[in-house]
Amino acid sequence: MAIASVVVATEAGAAEAVLADLSRLPNTEVYGSKENQIVTVIEADSVAALTEGMQRLAAVDRVVGVYPVYAGADE
Amino acid sequence: MKMTRRELMKYSAALAAASAIGFDLPLPKGVLAAAGEPDHWVKGVCRYCGAGCGVYTGVKGGKVVAVKGDKENWNKGFLCLKGNFLPAILYAPDRLQYPLLRKGNKFVRISWDEAMGVMVNKFHDAIRKNGPNSVAFYGSGQAYTEESYFVNKLFKGGLGTNNIDGNPRLCMASAAVGYVSTFGKDEPMGAYDDINHAECFFIIGSNMAEAHPVIFRMVNERKQKGKDVKIIMVDPRKTLSARIADLHMSFTPGTDLAILNAMAHVIIKENLHDKKFVDKHTIFKTVTDPGPPPKVKTVTWDEYVKFLDDYTPEAAEKISGCPAAEIVKAARWFAQSKATMSFWCMGLNQRTRGVWANNMVHNLHLLTGQICRPGATTFSLTGQPNACGGVRDGGLLSHLLPYGRLVANDKHREEMEKFWGLPAGRIQPKPGLTAMEMFQSVNSGGTRCLWVACTNPGQSLPNVDAYRKGMAAEDTFLVVSEAYHPTRTSELADLVLPAALWVEKDGTYGQSERRYQYVEKAIEPPGEARPDLMVMIDFANRLFAAMGRKEEARKLFNYKNSEEVWNEIRLCSKGTAYDFMGMTRARMKKAHGLQWPCPTEDHPGTVRRYTSEYDVLVKQQDPKAEGVLFYSAKADDNRVTIWLRPHKGPAEPPDAEYPFVLTTGRQIEHWHTGTMTLKVPELKRSAPDAYVEINPRDAAKVGVKNKDKVKVTSRRGTIVLEAKVVDVPRDGLVFMPMHYPDRMINSLTTDAYDAMSKQPEFKICAVKLEKV
Amino acid sequence: MNRLIVLIGLCLLMQPQAVLAAAAKHPATPENQECVECHGDQEKVWFDGKHGLMNVKCIACHGSTDKDFAAKPGSAACRGCHGDQVAQAMKSKGKEGKSCFPCHDPHALTVKGGSAKPYHVPGGK
C-alpha cells in the first residue's frame, strides 16, 4: 500500500472543473485547492504503481502540471 | 474522531503538499471542501422541527459527511439553514461517551453494568418504600415512537403508575386538547398539500419563516403561483414571516381571543357563514361552571349568536389595539375565499387560554365550512420532530393511553390491559403528574426517582430556577439520558447515560401532517453511547428481575430491536382512528413517509381525514356516508363542537412596576435549547448569544442604543444582555430567544398554565428594563 | 526510496507560481458583529432575493468567519438543497467550469443576462 500527495496545477480558472474530474478518479482523494493548485492524495499497491496514478492525474483535461510532494509506503 | 493509520498518512501527505503551495488545509471534516462524494446515502428525517423534512445523510468511512434534502418527499429536496448543517452535531466535542455517576461535585465514569445497577437499586427502593407513584419519567417529542411507546408501557402497564409525561406538555398540549375538545380526536385533518390549494392563509401566533422555514417556502410558492392568494398574519411582532403578508394584524399580547370572537361576530352579522354546514355537522357547548370537573351545557345557534353580540370589531379594537377595519377585512377574506387554511403554533399554544384560542380558530373554520376540502383546513404546526408520533399519538402524556385512548376511560384501560397481557386493574384510572406538576413533585420530595430522556428541562421549564433547585437536591435521584454533557439538565443529574443521537439509531418519527417516517441508522454511536430504546429495555428487565417479576418481564419487555416494537405499535393502532397497520417496516424503508390512517399494506396513506373522498375510515364507520363525516365525534353523533369561549387576558399582564411584556421565541439558526445547533460553528457565528429585541421608540424611552447592555427583570429573575434595536416588536413588547444556556430566558418566564391542558404561558410575562 | 527523494527534491525546485501569500481569510471579528454591518451592499441584494426571503443566510454559502470561511464558495455548498442541479452542472462540460456563479448572481441568485444555456433542470418547485 503506497500513497503519494501531489499538487495538481490547472489552467487558469479551471480548478473547479478539474476538481470535479479528479474526485471521480479511483484511489484519488482531493483535499482542497488554492487558486489553480489542487492538493491530491493518491493510493496504489506499490510505490512503483504510484507513477501510474500520477500519469492518470496528468491525463485529466486542463491539467498543466503534476508535482509530487510526498510519497511513502504503508508497511 | 479516530483516524486509521492510513488515513493519518494520507492526511500528513496532503498537509505537506498543502503547505508547499501556501494553502491552509481544512480539518478532515471540513464542511465546504469540494471533496469526493459520500460512499452512500441513507434515507431519514431531519433531527429538528415538526415540519419533518426528508433528508439523506451521506456516509463516507463510517462518518456522516453531508446531507441533502429528499426531493421525493413533501419538502422537495429543500432544507432550512439548520438542516443544511446537520452532520456537525454528531461530532461535537462534548458528545457523552460513557455513563457518569455523580460523586459529590464531580462526575465519575462507570460501566453500563454499574450504571444499570445503581439505577435499578434506586428505583426499586423507592417503589418498595413509597409505591410506584414515587418514580416518574419525563420524556420527549424528540424520542423515536418505539422509545416512547416502550417506556409508556413500562410505567403505565408494568409499574402501574401514570407519572409519565413529556416535553410536548410545554409546547403542544393546548393544541392536542383543542383538537380533542372540538373534534373528538387529536391531530390535524389536513396536510401540507392543502397549501397548494388554499386561496387564503390565516397565520396566527407563528413565525413560520424562522420556525418552520420549509413550510413557509411552500406557502410563499403558493402565493407566487396562485391567483390573488391572500395572506393574513396575526402577530404583535412584525416578523420575517410578515414579509409576505397582505394583512399584518398587530395587537396587545394576550388579547387575540377577542379578535377571534370578533371575526366570528362579523362572519355571522354579514351572513358569510355556512348555515347548512353548521346545522349538519356541529353542536354548540359552553362551560357553566369551571369546576373541576367542568360543567358543560349544550346550547343553541341563537345562544351562540347572542354570546358573540358583545364581540363587535370596535369592542375588540378597544381590548386589543387591533384596528376594527382590519378585523372586518380578515373576517371577510377568511369566509369568502374559495379555500382558507389556518396555521398557528406557540403564539396560541403557550398561553393560559391556549385551549380556548385553539377552539376559536376551529370555530372560524366550522362556521364558514372552510374545512375538509383541499386548501380548507385548520392546521396546527408542531414544534418537535416526534411530538405527534411518539407522545400525542403514542399516548405518553400522563392522561393518555396509546392511539386515542384515555387512562380515565374504563373501556380503554381494559383494551390496553388485554393488549399488553396485564392483570385487570393494573393501569391506574387517575391521570398522573403533568410536566409542571412533576417538577413541583420533585421539589416537594414526592418524586424520589426521575428519569429524564432526550430533553433539557433544566433550561426549558418556565420559571426554571425554581425547579433547578429541586432537580439538584439530594432527595430526588435524577437520571438523565443525553447525547451531550454537560447540558443545563445533565449538570444536575445523579446519573448520566450516554445516548445515541439521530442517525446513530433507527426508529420512527411522526410530524405535523400525520406523516410517519422511518429514520434509518447510518453510523455507529461514539464510545459506549446506546440507543435509548435498548437502555429502556435493559433497565425494564433488570428492574423487574430485582422485583422478582422476571416472568412478567419476559412477556412484556422482550424485544430485540426497534422493528419488533414497531410491529406491536402498528397492531395497537389497528381499529382506532389512527389505524396504521399498513405501515410495515418494509414499506417505511422504501416510502418517503406515509400519512395515517393507513389500515392495509396496499393503502397509500390519507391526505385528508373526515371526508369520504379521501378517508377510508369514513365509509368504515358508515358505508352510506358521502362527503364530510366527523367519526371522531361519535359521542356527539358525529357532530363537532363549536365552543362558546370568552376573551380572557394573560396571567401576568404588564403593570406599573413591570411595564413591558416579555415574549419568547425562536431564531432560524437555532433549535430548542441549542444543545445541537450551538455546536455548529457556522450557526453559532450567525447567532452567538441571547439578546433583547426592543423597538426604537421603547429603546429611546429606556435610553438604550443597539448593542447597549440592558438588565431585564421579572418577578422571578433578572438577566443582563445586549439590546437589539429593530422596529419589529410592538410598543411595550420585548422579545428574547430561548436557545442560550448561558442566558436562560426561562429565569424570567412565568409557570402559570392553562387549566385544561396544563401548558405554561411562556409567551407572556411582565418585565422591566433598565440600562446597565 | 532514493528515486523518491530525488523526485521530491525536483518538485520542490520546480515550484512554479507557489506564491506563499496568505489564503483568503476573514479578518477576526467580535462575536456580536453581524455580516451586514460591513457587507450592507451584498446583504441588501441578498435580502431582496429568494435566499433572503427564505433565510438562507450568509453562513450557508460562506461558512463562519473562522477556519471554514469561504469567500468564493464552491458548488458543494449548494448541494444540501440543490443536489440535482449541482450534480448535473458538475457533469456537463462548459468553458466556465463547474462553479454556480458564472451564471447565477452570487447574492440575488438570479440568472445573469448573457449566460450560456442552463447546465441543469430548473430549481425551486
Which grid cell is A74? 504503508
Which grid cell is A72? 511513502
Please judge whether A47 and C90 are an interchain contact, meaning their C-beta atoms are less than 8 angstroms apart.
no
**pLDDT at residue B81 tops 80:** yes
Q: Which residues pair with B736 in a beta bridge?
A: B664
Asked whether C35 and C61 are in contact (CB, 8 A), the reply is no
- Which of C90, C101, C120 best probes binding to A when mutated, by most A CB atoms within 10 angstroms? C90
Look at chain C and count its residues.
125
Tell me which of A74 and B687 has the higher pLDDT.
Answer: B687
Measure A70 CA to nearest chain B CA, in Å: 6
Is B346 in the active site? yes
pLDDT band at C17 (very low <50, low <70, confident <90, very high): very low
**pLDDT at residue B719 tops 50:** yes
Q: Which of B645, B647, B651 is nearest to B316 (CA)?
A: B647
Measure C85 CA to nearest chain B CA, in Å: 11
Asked whether B381 and B370 are in contact (CB, 8 A), the reply is no
Q: Is residue C73 part of a domain?
A: yes
Indicate the number of domains in chain C: 1
Q: How much is the pLDDT for C21?
A: 32
Measure A59 CA to nearest chain C CA, in Å: 17
pTM to 2 decimal places: 0.87
Contacts of B216 in chain C (CB under 8 A): 54
Mean pLDDT of B482-488: 98
Q: Which of B3-17, B263-277, B685-699 has the lowest mean pLDDT?
A: B3-17
Which residue of the set B171, B322, B583, B765 is catalytic? Answer: B171
Residues of C at the B interface (Cβ-Cβ below 8 Å)? 12, 15, 18-23, 25, 31-32, 53-60, 63-68, 70, 73-77, 79-84, 124-125
Q: Which of B86-90, B573-577, C49-53, C103-107 has the lowest mean pLDDT?
A: C103-107
DSSP states of B261-280? HHHHHHHHHTT-S-HHHHHH
Q: Cα(C52)–Cα(C44) distance, rounded to whole angstroms?
A: 9
**pLDDT at residue C14 tops 70:** no
**pLDDT at residue A37 tops 50:** yes
pLDDT band at C20 (very low <50, low <70, confident <90, very high): very low
Q: How far is CA A2 from CA A71, B39, C10, in A?
A: 7, 22, 20
The percent of residues above 70 in pLDDT, for chain C, comes to 72
pLDDT band at B465 (very low <50, low <70, confident <90, very high): very high
Q: CATH number of the domain at B173-381, please?
A: 3.40.228.10
Which residue of the set B172, B218, B416, B598 is catalytic? Answer: B172
Peptide bond into B293 cis (omega under 30): yes
Q: Which of B86-90, B394-398, C8-12 has the lowest mean pLDDT?
A: C8-12
Tell me which of A9 and B543 has the higher pLDDT.
Answer: B543
Q: How much is the pLDDT for A74?
A: 61
B644 touches chain C (CB under 8 A): no
pLDDT band at B28 (very low <50, low <70, confident <90, very high): very low
C-alpha angle with apex B293: B289 to B295, nearest 5 degrees? 35
Which chains touch A (3+ CB pairs under 8 A)? B, C
Parts of chain B belonging to CATH 3.40.50.740? 100-171+386-595
Measure B95 CA to nearest chain A CA, in Å: 26
Measure A36 CA to nearest chain B CA, in Å: 10
Measure A14 CA to nearest chain C CA, in Å: 6
Q: How much is the pLDDT for B438?
A: 98
Q: Does domain B100-171+386-595 have CATH number 3.40.50.740?
A: yes
Q: Cα(C18)–Cα(B430) distance, rounded to whole angstroms?
A: 77
A55 touches chain C (CB under 8 A): no
Q: How much is the pLDDT for B3?
A: 55
DSSP states of chain C? -HHHHHHHHHHHHT--S---PPP-PPPP--TT--GGGT-HHHHHHHHHSHHHHTT--HHHHH--SSTT--SS--GGGGHHHHHHHHHHHHHS--TTTT-STTTB-TTT-PBPTT--S-SS-----
Residue-wise pLDDT for B600-635, tens only, equals 999 999 999 999 999 999 999 999 999 999 999 999
Q: Cα(B505)–Cα(B522) distance, rounded to whole angstroms?
A: 8
B216 touches chain C (CB under 8 A): yes
Measure B41 CA to nearest chain A CA, in Å: 17
Contacts of A9 in chain C (CB under 8 A): 16
Contacts of A70 in chain C (CB under 8 A): 8
Look at chain B and count its residues.
772
Q: How far is CA C90 from CA B68, B153, B563, C97, C98, in A?
A: 16, 52, 39, 8, 5
For the purposes of burial, counting CB atoms within 10 Å of the CB of B567, is it exposed (0-12), middle (13-18) or buried (19 or more)? middle
Question: What value does the mean pLDDT of chain C take?
Answer: 77
pLDDT band at B443 (very low <50, low <70, confident <90, very high): very high
Which chains touch C (3+ CB pairs under 8 A)? A, B
Asked whether B406 and B412 are in contact (CB, 8 A), the reply is yes
- Which of C12, C51, C59 best probes binding to B when mutated, by most B CB atoms within 10 angstroms? C59
ipTM of the complex: 0.88
Q: How much is the pLDDT for A46?
A: 83
Please judge whether B688 and C31 are an interchain contact, meaning their C-beta atoms are less than 8 angstroms apart.
yes
Mean pLDDT of B306-318: 98
Q: Which of A47-61, B341-355, B743-757 has the lowest mean pLDDT?
A: A47-61
Residues B415-418: contacts with CB within 8 Å, 24+ apart? B416/B156, B416/B157, B417/B157
Mean pLDDT of B187-200: 98
Among chain B residues, CA nearest to C73: B32
3-state DSSP helix/strand/coil percent for chain B, to nearest 5?
40, 20, 45
Is B172 in the active site? yes
Among chain B residues, CA nearest to C61: B32
Class of domain B660-771: mainly beta
Mean pLDDT of B732-758: 97
**pLDDT at residue B716 tops 50:** yes
pLDDT band at B8 (very low <50, low <70, confident <90, very high): confident
Looking at the partner chain, which of B35, B210, B682 has a beta carbon nearest the beta carbon of C55? B210
**pLDDT at residue B11 tops 90:** no
Q: Cα(B37)–Cα(C86) distance, rounded to whole angstroms?
A: 12
Residue-wise pLDDT for B153-184, tens only, equals 999 999 999 999 999 999 999 999 999 999 99
Q: How far is CA B9 from CA A3, B5, B629, in A?
A: 8, 6, 68
Helix (H, G, I), strand (E, B) or coil at B683: helix
**pLDDT at residue A5 tops 90:** no
Q: Which of B639, B178, B227 is nearest to B379 (CA)?
A: B178
Among chain C residues, CA nearest to A71: C4
Strands B405-406 and B400-401: antiparallel
Q: Is residue C11 part of a domain?
A: no
Contacts of B5 in chain A (CB under 8 A): 74
User: Which position has the grid cell 433549535?
Assistant: B671
Q: Cα(B206)–Cα(B579) distance, rounded to whole angstroms?
A: 30
pLDDT band at C72 (very low <50, low <70, confident <90, very high): confident
DSSP state of B387: I
DSSP states of B52-112? --EEEEEEETTEEEEEEE-TTSTTTT---HHHHTTHHHHT-TTB--S-EEEETTEEEE--H
- Which of A54, A69, A75 best probes binding to B when mutated, by most B CB atoms within 10 angstroms? A69
Say how many CA atoms lie within 13 Å of B425 toward its Cβ.
0
Q: Which of B244, B242, B241, B194 is nearest to B223 (CA)?
A: B244
Peptide bond into B597 cis (omega under 30): yes
Strands B709-713 and B718-725: antiparallel
Contacts of C15 in chain B (CB under 8 A): 20-21
Asked whether B60 and B38 are in contact (CB, 8 A), the reply is yes
Q: Cα(B723)–Cα(B696) distance, rounded to whole angstroms?
A: 11
Q: Is residue C83 part of a domain?
A: yes
Instruction: Name the residue range of residue C77's domain.
Output: 36-119
pLDDT band at B14 (very low <50, low <70, confident <90, very high): confident
**pLDDT at residue B581 tops 60:** yes
pLDDT band at B16 (very low <50, low <70, confident <90, very high): confident
Is B171 in the active site? yes
The percent of residues above 70 in pLDDT, for chain B, comes to 98
Q: Is residue C7 part of a domain?
A: no
Q: Is residue C103 part of a domain?
A: yes
DSSP states of B207-272? -HHHHSHHHHHHHHHHHHHSSS-EEEEE-SB--GGGGG-SEEE---TT-HHHHHHHHHHHHHHTT-
Asked whether B460 and B167 are in contact (CB, 8 A), the reply is yes
Which grid cell is C119? 447546465
Mean pLDDT of A35-56: 84
Mean pLDDT of B197-216: 98
Please judge whether A17 and C4 are an interchain contact, meaning their C-beta atoms are less than 8 angstroms apart.
no
**pLDDT at residue C124 tops 90:** no
pLDDT band at C13 (very low <50, low <70, confident <90, very high): very low
User: Which position has the grid cell 478532515?
Assistant: B28
Is B82 in the active site? yes
pLDDT band at C116 (very low <50, low <70, confident <90, very high): low
**pLDDT at residue C16 tops 60:** no
Domains identified in chain A and CATH numbers: 2-73 (3.30.70.920)
Q: Is residue C49 part of a domain?
A: yes
Q: How much is the pLDDT for C98?
A: 60
Residues 193-212 of B with CB under 8 A from C: 209-210
Q: Which of A43-52, B33-42, B281-290, B480-489 has the lowest mean pLDDT?
A: B33-42
Which grid cell is B177? 386538547
For the purposes of burial, counting CB atoms within 10 Å of the CB of B321, is it exposed (0-12), middle (13-18) or buried (19 or more)? middle
Which grid cell is B360? 376559536
Q: How much is the pLDDT for B2?
A: 46
Asked whether A53 and A44 are in contact (CB, 8 A), the reply is yes
pLDDT band at B25 (very low <50, low <70, confident <90, very high): low
C15 touches chain A (CB under 8 A): yes
DSSP states of B139-179? E-TTS-HHHHHHHHIIIIIII----EEETHHHHTHHHHHHH
User: Which position has the grid cell 420530595?
Assistant: B445
**pLDDT at residue B405 tops 50:** yes
**pLDDT at residue B368 tops 60:** yes
Which residue of the set B347, B383, B394, B510 is catalytic? Answer: B383
| Alpha helices, DSSP H, located in B614-679 | 616-621
- Which of B37, B55, B68 best probes binding to C when mutated, by most C CB atoms within 10 angstroms? B68
